[in-house]
Amino acid sequence: MQTNSVLSTLFSSALLVAALPAAAQNEATGPAPEPENANTNLGDWFGDPLIVTADGFEQRSFDTPYMTDVISQDEMRDYGIRSVPEALKYTPGVLVQRTSHGQGSPYIRGFTGYRNVFLVDGVRLNNATFRSGPNQYWNTLDPFSVERLEVIKGPTSVIYGSDAVGGTVNAITTSPYGYSDTNNLSGRTTARYASNERSIGGRVELSPTFNSDGHPIGVLIGGSASDFGDLQGGSDIGRQNGTGYGQYAADIKTEYFVGDNSRLVFAHQRIRQNNVPRTHSTVQGISFAGTTVGTDLQRDLDQERDLTYVQLHTEDIENGPLSAFKIGLSWQNTNQAQDRIRANNDREFDTLRVQTLGFFAQAQSEVSDDLTLTYGIDYYRDKVDTFGSDSGSVPTTFVQGSFGDDATYDLLGIYVQGEYDLTDRLNTVIGGRWNYAAADADRVNNPAIPGSDPTNPADIISISDSWNAFVGSARLNYEIEPEELVVFGGVSQGFRAPNLSDLTGNISSNATDIEIASPGLEPEYYTALEIGFKGQGETYGWQASYYYTIIEDQVVRFGTGNPNEFTRGNIGDGYVNGIELDGTWKPTEPVTLFANAFWQLGEVDAIPVAGGPVVAEYIERNPPITVNVGARYDVPDHPLWVYGIVTAATDADFVTSRDARDGQRVPPGGTPSYVTVNIGGGWEFSKNMELSVTLENITNEDYRVHGSGVNGAGFGVVATLDWTF
């Protein structure tokens, strides 16, 4: 289906819904969803949000011994956010790199790709083909379907297993709403326009709910589509040709309340992205501050992802060994196709299919008034099939695509974590996890032989390996002043088993490099030391943290000695440390001031010259010092609000040897500093209809987020119209 036809269907449906008789809307006796005021969640704890991502069950952010952030759907809408990765751009400790307009990858506390875990309703999006560097998969979740994003920074491998190193982000998608004592129909339509990307998109969703003998049943059906044009840069860069793409998505979620405290949830999500260009590697790329322009004539990706799951959630159980539990079974299907035409007109075609079966079971027991145990098991199995071909002067079919063909990858974890109140003010959280990982790939290109003939047995090897590991965590919260000031911190371990990208990768990276298979790798280990503070009162909220993460046996790529050829090894020992500050203050009722900042620096061992010695280098994409400062004014007695946000980033000049090789994305000597200013506001001009407008980059600054392949948007108007009934 073409994006334009999807858009036509979407907005025709919106008009049809808007034309429903008012009497039909008035039948609802329960509360219809209304747009909330945009929360200034750049450090806003006034609502004391509940989060589930820290240990799998709800708890207050203030009581969590981690730096946390919650980004709501309303904030994403009202601040003109375009995609899920970009929703994290105001979060301290996070650098949102964009390889292209359709490919965004957050660096959280120095790590990206397969060293962060992304969950969708508690289900892992990560699979065995995630790469070490930036990847596009976080962009394969429809932002219109997200109710909120929960961010936990630092290692959380005790609860979430392999890959949970830099941070864990859980996207909670919208659930059925509008429940009442009778049958009810609620809904929402959202339309978004952005002039600086020539884009239009939106979503229509309906939520019928039913009352069946005291057991409510709710359904949410939604569809979204967006057509992104070529991105407009700043005053000198102008239009960035070859950056546009289209996407559409659909989802359904049903929930059946088995009892007062139990609900059975079934959901299916689908997203399709068509012809997403990796522009920087093509001749349509631009030069910024000395970056080189690519030579590919075309490099487009089609991305498809489907997720289906069923989950049972039960809470507040009385008179039993369990106080809460949840169990889930999921099936995820990811398809990717890359169509690349080199400068010599050779056409490379690469496909990837990953089918993932997932299962988790988690329980909580209140052993005593002072001790609560959380424990569980999770298992994921990836089945991976790849294909690669080159239609050059001698058409060729390869042994594999970018990853080993006919492959499987298993992850199993069993964990227990105890939360114990040592005193009325001191709370400790101690846990441990056993991890098992196994990789099997039947068709891998032999890294010792240059050929890739699928009919020649000498060109094919198989790889089979497995790993066991144990990780632990010990953290605490101490109330210096009850409900006002706490100190938190502790020690947390992270763990990452080698995946199929490490072991079997046949991947093009940077401008001319190729990474080959690397059998025999071992797990990576990380130990994070952290101390921080959280404070809150009637008019303020803030949090601050210092962390130091020790890196051991990190898988690092290095040259083989052959031109532009790289392999991998466990040579990376080093550290990352940083400071994060985040706060909000309401000097008067209508005025909210907010600010955050972060600084980070790290080093890890590398071999910058093939055959040379191991030396310590800065971590890749070490972010600049970044500060966000903003203000919001809610007009008293009127449904109007205005805001402004200033973002400032220093020079990103801690450049590694790998950064230097990536000349299409990283300028010589690093990425220049920049300052951007956004202003905007909103107007709720009827009971359930709100218009939000952002004037983005009003100074039309030419800038690039460090490591990105495209420049940031220049001046433009982003408008979102939201109507609920």
Radius of gyration of the chain from its Cα atoms, rounded to whole angstroms: 25
Check residue 181 and give its pLDDT. Answer: 87
Measure the CA–CA gap between 566 and 132, rounded to whole angstroms: 14
Q: Is 613 helix (H, G, I), strand (E, B) or coil?
A: coil
Q: How far is CA 8 from CA 101, 157, 524, in A?
A: 23, 44, 49
Check residue 484 and give its pLDDT. Answer: 94
Using left for φ > 0, alpha for ψ between -120 and 50, and beta otherwise, residue 455 falls in: alpha
Name the DSSP letter for residue 33.
P
Measure the CA–CA gap between 546 and 575, rounded to whole angstroms: 13
- pTM value? 0.92
- Name residues whose C-beta falls within 8 Å of residue 464's C-beta, 6 or more positions apart in sequence: 438, 439, 440, 441
Measure the CA–CA gap between 198 and 716, rounded to whole angstroms: 9
Q: How far is CA 85 from CA 489, 504, 559, in A?
A: 27, 27, 31
Measure the CA–CA gap between 167 and 157, rounded to whole angstroms: 10
Q: What is the number of domains present in the chain?
A: 1
Residue whose pair of structure tokens reads 């506390």 in the numeric block: 109
Tell me the CB-side half-sphere exposure of residue 442, using CA atoms within 13 A. 8
- Ranges of residues in the chain whose predicted pLDDT is under 70: 1-49, 509-511
Check residue 49 and give its pLDDT. Answer: 66
Measure the CA–CA gap between 676 and 517, rounded to whole angstroms: 42
Among 583, 664, 680, 670, which Cα is nearest to 629's? 583
Quick one: tokens of 306? Answer: 């489907």
Provide φ and ψ at 25, rounded to 5°. Answer: -70, -35
Domain extent, residue 329, equals: 3-724
Measure the CA–CA gap between 413 and 157, rounded to whole angstroms: 10
Check residue 58 and give its pLDDT. Answer: 83
Q: Is-contact 175 117, C-beta < 8 A?
A: no
Quick one: tokens of 458? Answer: 């000498």
Measure the CA–CA gap between 214 and 381, rounded to whole angstroms: 38
Check residue 15 and give its pLDDT. Answer: 31
- Residue 638: CB atoms within 10 A of its CB come to 9
Measure the CA–CA gap between 242 and 240, rounded to whole angstroms: 7
Measure the CA–CA gap between 184 and 32, rounded to whole angstroms: 9
- Residue 481: CB atoms within 10 A of its CB come to 10
Q: Which long-range contacts (CB under 8 A, 24 or more apart) does 577-580 make?
A: 577/546, 577/547, 577/548, 577/549, 577/601, 577/602, 578/93, 578/109, 578/110, 578/546, 578/547, 578/602, 579/544, 579/545, 579/546, 580/67, 580/92, 580/93, 580/153, 580/532, 580/543, 580/544, 580/545, 580/547
- Name residues whose C-beta falls within 8 Å of residue 23's C-beta, 6 or more positions apart in sequence: none
What are the DSSP calls for 113-166, one per residue? GGGSEEEETTEE---TT--SS--SGGGSS-GGGEEEEEEEES--HHHH-TT-SS
Check residue 636 and give its pLDDT. Answer: 94
Q: Is-contact 534 162, C-beta < 8 A?
A: no
Reported in sequence order, the residue ranges of 446-484 that DSSP labels E, i.e. its strands, are: 460-481
Tell me the CB-side half-sphere exposure of residue 423, using CA atoms within 13 A. 7
Residue whose pair of structure tokens reads 């420049």 in the numeric block: 711
Q: Is-contact 605 595, C-beta < 8 A?
A: no
Measure the CA–CA gap between 429 and 68, rounded to whole angstroms: 16
Provide φ and ψ at 216, rounded to 5°. Answer: -60, 145
Measure the CA–CA gap between 475 and 300, rounded to whole angstroms: 45
Quick one: tokens of 611? Answer: 């055959």
- Name residues whose C-beta falls within 8 Å of residue 609's C-beta, 6 or more positions apart in sequence: 559, 657
Residue 117's domain is classified under what CATH number? Answer: 2.40.170.20
The amino acid that residue 577 corresponds to is N
Q: What angle do CA 604, 609, 611 make, to 5 degrees?
A: 105
What are the DSSP calls for 350-379, one per residue? EEEEEEEEEEEEEEEEE-SSSEEEEEEEEE
